[in-house]
């Protein structure tokens, strides 16, 4: 069968195409239609199911007349005579019907799942003015059920999906899209991949193994390079039984693939499908695709590519329209006492003047209420203990000595290499004050080190504690046992590799998650496991404490993120929506939201208050492995196996930047304390520093075309790159900025 070409301006070619369309539907136009009808005259019900009809009634006669009109138009004289003879229709009956205006047209609203789209996609009128309303099978008609159309009759055959014709259908659409104007071609080319996958799966599902293999071999090379991993999985699915065990492909088959297309491009596709009456492709579009139509200029290839690549296409525009309170919570007002250094410096002329404004600015920051911030009590947060207040005072003092970073003042970088880590280092974390470092290992252990001269000590035994004077000022020091002092501690408890760890803000606890499906909470006073949280059924890839403590989030292979509180053994919230493993989790600085990155190549932002998904970001071409919020809460950075770092505006729900340079998975991201620098660490053994201020300032958020939901990304990665730092042979898996803006990096040496 020749590929169907588009030729709307050539009448002869049009006639030939329509004959081919009939061939596609029936196999052999004279034998099939003549043969079937001569054996048993049929009339078609509204859903396109043939039924025997010994006596032709009014409804059946309308159907038969419609078929006759189609056959006559295509000069299938032998079939016309056979049909007339078997159905007992007089020669002038269909002629008089033509004179009256004809029985043609399909126009009942077919629900495509198209936002703002034309509901009656197949309102085809084949040469007459009247347009009775009939829905294409298999959807039931929504009006005018007594006037069926020839399309309904033929769809009874085309619905069977002749496996030999799948290549013809796909080639016909491919040739059409390659012949349209460049501005539309890029947008319409988006349909290739989802159509290819669903047509292949349909062939496999209906046990057409050889046709499926031939279809895959012919067209798999035409797909975008960033779908290669999915195609590799797809190529292994050659039997219906294989599909049952593949969750990702079942998700692909049951969830709608979202395409964002301009109205002009959509009209072109609609017209083409109408003219070809290609029900096979239309049924796939109707069942498996969601076409998000926008008004305006079609997007360019680069704009489409920047947002493509996820398992389920782009995010629908309404998915990113919810209000997000990305501002920071008001800090509690704490008086910062002057320390000895400050008092000594009072005599020096410039010193108090320098320090006082800084402390005032810290205070004024806490007094102002951010208009974009959530209400202070929107979610219940733990009350500040005295030790927390002391820590905040220390933090403020450190902040006065913080180095202001920028393009001309880059941070010093201190790299922690784990030597001889044959247990397989899988995760690293630092405490906020940079005094402790912990590592998770493939041998199921968690190891904690002190990176200050102060050694790690456990609490004394109960017998010894009873002898201590509890009223003394240094009771916290007295309860610690000097005999247990050491530079590191090993925590045993997991029964599988540890994939994620996180220190609590107050440094009293440590979380770890493992392949064994549990999240464990460890005490850093006794170095024992306090709780094992069991909720995940499969490996847990990541966990993280809230910036305010108490809450924590976990995500894993079961594709569901869970929000927990340390004093509840069951999750408070479950965030379901990803189509593949959740690989990384991060709390927003105000603790009201959680971001999750997934192997489905999307990032989702979840509202903790009600568990809803308020943002979906697409654009990465590989599983996402790192996330970082900017200190002001307005922006999010993400890194993935595609080596790219993408920047997102949370308020507008749009991608605003793309940082290219890494040649391997970006495993660690961190903003400096004031947000001027973004550091990225990768499996390519490098740490790169980016000018985040310039990246965000270059984008004027007021100019965002939120109606279309896309912008043109500036190609300025190299301008934003401030420095690249190579390790000897150590992949970077964690980054941390100290309170004074020294950058700490960590990884296991790979000899």
Are the CB atoms for 307 and 617 separated by under 8 Å?
Answer: no
Q: What is the pLDDT of residue 16?
A: 40
For tokens 């043109």, the residue is 712
List, in order, residues 6 or more apart from 64 with CB less than 8 Å away. 41, 43, 56, 83, 87, 89
| Low-confidence winner among 337-346, 353-362, 610-619 (lowest mean pLDDT) | 353-362
Q: What is the pLDDT of residue 710?
A: 59
Q: What is the mean pLDDT of residues 165-176?
A: 84
For tokens 């919020």, the residue is 629
Q: What is the mean pLDDT of residues 119-126?
A: 26
Q: What is the mean pLDDT of residues 533-539?
A: 91
Compute φ and ψ for 12, nearest 5 degrees.
-65, -45
C-alpha 199/C-alpha 205 separation (Å) is 10
C-alpha 562/C-alpha 538 separation (Å) is 13
Name the DSSP letter for residue 401. T
C-alpha 563/C-alpha 739 separation (Å) is 28
Angle of helix 228-235 versus helix 247-254 axis, rounded to 10 = 110
Q: What is the pLDDT of residue 338?
A: 58
The tokens for 742 are: 């020294």
For tokens 């998700």, the residue is 251
The tokens for 333 are: 């007002």
Confidence of residue 512 (pLDDT cuts 50, 70, 90): very high
The partner residues of 211 in beta bridges, in order of sequence, read none
Between 25 and 203, name the one with better pLDDT.
203
Confidence of residue 196 (pLDDT cuts 50, 70, 90): confident
The tokens for 671 are: 């903003």
Half-sphere exposure at residue 745, Cβ-oriented, CA atoms within 13 angstroms: 29
Between 255 and 42, name the one with better pLDDT.
255
CA 411 to chain centre: 33
What b/e sequence results for 281-309 when a residue is b if at least 16 CB atoms lie within 10 Å of its CB, and e otherwise?
bbbbbbebbbbbbbeeebbeeebbebbbb
C-alpha 172/C-alpha 155 separation (Å) is 18
- DSSP E strand stretches across 31-165: 42-44, 50-52
* Percent of the chain whose predicted confidence (pLDDT) is above 70: 71
Confidence of residue 367 (pLDDT cuts 50, 70, 90): low
Average of per-residue pLDDT values in the chain: 75
Give the pTM. 0.73
Q: What is the mean pLDDT of residues 688-717?
A: 68
Q: What is the pLDDT of residue 92?
A: 53
Q: What is the pLDDT of residue 137?
A: 31
SS (H, E, C) 468-522: CCCCCCCHHHHCEEEEEEECEEEECCCCCCEEEEEECCCCCEEEEEECCCEEEEE
C-alpha 158/C-alpha 310 separation (Å) is 31
Burial of 124 (0-12, 13-18, 19+ CB in 10 A): buried
Q: What is the mean pLDDT of residues 320-328?
A: 89
User: 3-state DSSP: the chain helix, strand, coil percent, rounded to 5?
Assistant: 35, 25, 40
Q: Integer distance in angstroms from the first to the last C-alpha of the chain?
A: 58
List, in order, residues 6 or more apart from 679 with CB less than 8 Å away. 411, 668, 669, 670, 671, 672, 687, 688, 689, 690, 735, 737, 743, 745
For tokens 């939901």, the residue is 709
H or E element in which residue 654 lies: strand 654-659
Q: Helices H, strands E: what count in the chain?
A: 23, 33
Confidence of residue 393 (pLDDT cuts 50, 70, 90): confident
C-alpha 432/C-alpha 395 separation (Å) is 9
Q: What is the mean pLDDT of residues 40-46?
A: 35
């Amino acid at each position: 069968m020749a590929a169907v070409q588009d030729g709307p301006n050539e009448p002869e070619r049009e006639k030939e195409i329509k004959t081919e369309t009939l061939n596609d539907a029936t196999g052999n136009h004279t034998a099939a239609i003549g043969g079937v009808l001569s054996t048993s005259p049929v009339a078609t019900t509204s859903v396109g199911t043939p039924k025997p009809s010994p006596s032709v009634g009014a409804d059946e006669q309308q159907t038969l007349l419609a078929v006759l009109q189609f056959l006559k138009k295509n000069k299938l004289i032998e079939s016309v005579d056979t049909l007339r003879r078997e159905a007992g229709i007089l020669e002038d009956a269909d002629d008089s019907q033509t004179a009256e205006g004809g029985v043609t047209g399909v126009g009942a609203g077919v629900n495509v799942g198209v936002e703002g789209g034309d509901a009656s996609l197949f309102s085809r009128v084949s040469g007459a003015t009247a347009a009775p309303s009939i829905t294409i099978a298999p959807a039931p008609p929504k009006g005018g059920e007594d006037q069926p159309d020839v399309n309904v009759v033929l769809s009874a055959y085309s619905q069977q999906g002749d496996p030999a014709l799948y290549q013809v259908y796909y080639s016909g659409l491919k040739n059409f899209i390659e012949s349209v104007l460049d501005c539309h071609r890029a947008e319409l080319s988006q349909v290739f991949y989802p159509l290819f996958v669903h047509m292949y799966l349909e062939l496999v599902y209906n046990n057409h193994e050889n046709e499926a293999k031939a279809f895959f071999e012919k067209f798999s090379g035409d797909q975008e390079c960033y779908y290669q991993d999915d195609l590799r999985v797809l190529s292994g699915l050659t039997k219906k039984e294989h599909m049952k065990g593949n969750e990702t492909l079942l998700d692909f088959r049951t969830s709608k693939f979202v395409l964002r297309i301009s109205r002009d491009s959509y009209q072109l596709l609609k017209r083409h499908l109408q003219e070809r009456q290609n029900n096979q492709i239309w049924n796939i579009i109707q069942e498996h695709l969601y076409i998000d139509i926008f008004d305006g200029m079609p997007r360019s290839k680069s704009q489409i590519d920047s947002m493509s690549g996820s398992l389920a296409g782009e995010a629908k525009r309404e998915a990113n329209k919810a209000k997000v309170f990305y501002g920071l919570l008001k800090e509690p007002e704490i008086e910062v006492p002057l320390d000895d250094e400050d008092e000594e410096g009072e005599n020096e002329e410039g010193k108090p003047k320098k320090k006082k404004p800084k402390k005032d600015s810290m205070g004024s920051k806490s007094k102002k209420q951010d208009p974009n911030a959530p209400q202070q009590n929107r979610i219940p947060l733990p009350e500040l203990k005295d030790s927390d207040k002391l820590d905040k005072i220390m933090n403020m003092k450190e902040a006065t000595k913080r180095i202001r970073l920028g393009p001309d003042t880059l941070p010093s970088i201190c790299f922690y290499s784990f030597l001889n880590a044959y247990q397989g280092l899988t995760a690293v974390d630092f405490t906020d004050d940079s005094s402790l470092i912990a590592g998770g290992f493939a041998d199921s252990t968690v190891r904690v080190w002190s990176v200050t001269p102060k050694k790690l000590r456990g609490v004394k035994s109960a017998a010894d504690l009873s002898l201590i004077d509890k009223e003394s000022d240094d009771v916290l020091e007295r309860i610690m046992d000097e005999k247990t002092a050491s530079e590191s501690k090993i925590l045993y408890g997991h029964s599988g590799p540890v994939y994620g760890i996180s220190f609590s803000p107050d440094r009293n606890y440590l979380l770890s998650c493992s392949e064994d499906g549990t999240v464990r909470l460890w005490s850093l006073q006794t170095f024992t496991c306090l709780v094992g949280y069991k909720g995940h059924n499969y490996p847990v890839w990541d966990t993280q404490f809230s910036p305010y403590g108490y809450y924590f989030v976990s995500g894993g292979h079961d594709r569901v993120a869970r929000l927990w509180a340390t004093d509840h053994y069951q999750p408070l919230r479950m965030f379901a929506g990803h189509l593949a493993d959740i690989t990384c989790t991060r709390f927003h600085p105000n603790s009201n939201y959680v971001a999750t990155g997934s192997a489905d190549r999307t990032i989702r932002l979840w509202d903790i208050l009600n568990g809803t998904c308020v943002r979906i970001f697409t654009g990465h071409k590989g599983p996402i492995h790192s996330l970082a919020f900017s200190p002001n809460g307005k922006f999010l950075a993400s890194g993935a196996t595609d080596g790219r770092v993408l920047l997102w505006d949370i308020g507008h729900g749009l991608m605003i930047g793309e940082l290219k340079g890494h040649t391997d998975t970006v495993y660690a991201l961190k903003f400096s304390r004031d947000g001027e620098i973004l550091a990225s660490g990768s499996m390519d053994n490098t740490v790169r520093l980016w000018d985040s201020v310039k990246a965000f300032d270059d984008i004027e958020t007021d100019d965002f075309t939120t109606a279309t939901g896309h912008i043109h990304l500036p190609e300025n990665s190299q301008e934003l790159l401030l420095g690249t730092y190579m390790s000897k042979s150590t992949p970077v898996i964690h980054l941390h900025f100290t309170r004074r803006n020294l950058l700490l990096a960590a990884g296991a040496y790979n000899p």
